[in-house]
Amino acid sequence: MLVAAALLSTAVVAPAAAEDFGISVSFIPPPPQIAPPAADVPEPLAPVPIPEAVIPIPPTPVQILAYIRALPAETLIRIAWHGTGQEERALKIARRESGLRCDAKNPRSSASGLFQHLRLHEARARRMGFTWAEVAGPDCYADVMLAKQMYDESGWRAWRLTA
C-alpha cells in the first residue's frame, strides 16, 4: 500500500482506477485565475489590414529584346562598347559612316546600316542569328552586334578612321 501511495503522489492516476485499489485520491486544485488587466492598460490595437501586394510579372526574353532593339543607336553603341574604353571611337565611326542612321545605304557600294557593313559580312551575320535585312535595315541592334563582334575579332581594321 505504501508503494501505491508513493506512486500516486508522483503519478497521475484516474480516480476510478485508484479506488479499485482502495486508495483515496485527492485532486490538485486548479491554478489560480489570472486577474483581468487593470483599467489603465490600453486595449491592444486592432490589426491594420495590409493591402494585397501586386507582384509584377517579369518580362519575357522576347519583351526584353524588343525593348533593347527599340533603343536609340547611340545608346546601343554605348552599351555594346561599355567597359572597353572604345565607346567614343565607336560613336565617331558610326557618325562618320552613317550619321547615326540605321537605315543608311551607300549608293556606290553594298555598304548598309549604321556601321556601313559590306554584303560580304552577310555569312557572319547569319552565324550570329541575324538576317541581312536586320543588319542593313532600320533595326540598329543587329548592326551594332555585328560591328561589336567584328571589333572583338580584329579591332578597328574594318573601319579606317583618321583624326
pLDDT of 85-94, one tens digit each? 999 999 999 9
| CA atoms within a 13 Å half-sphere pointing along the CA-CB vector of 153 | 8
Residue type, 52: E
Whole-model pTM?
A: 0.63
Q: Answer whether residue 148 shows pLDDT above 90.
A: yes
Alpha-carbon separation of residue 40 from 34, 37, 43, 53 (angstroms): 17, 8, 9, 37
User: Under DSSP, is residue 128 helix (H, G, I), strand (E, B) or coil?
Assistant: coil
- Give the pLDDT band of residue 53 (cuts 50, 70, 90): confident
When pLDDT is averaged across residues 53-58 and rounded to a whole number, the result is 80
pLDDT tens per residue across span 77-117: 999 999 999 999 999 999 999 999 999 999 999 899 999 99
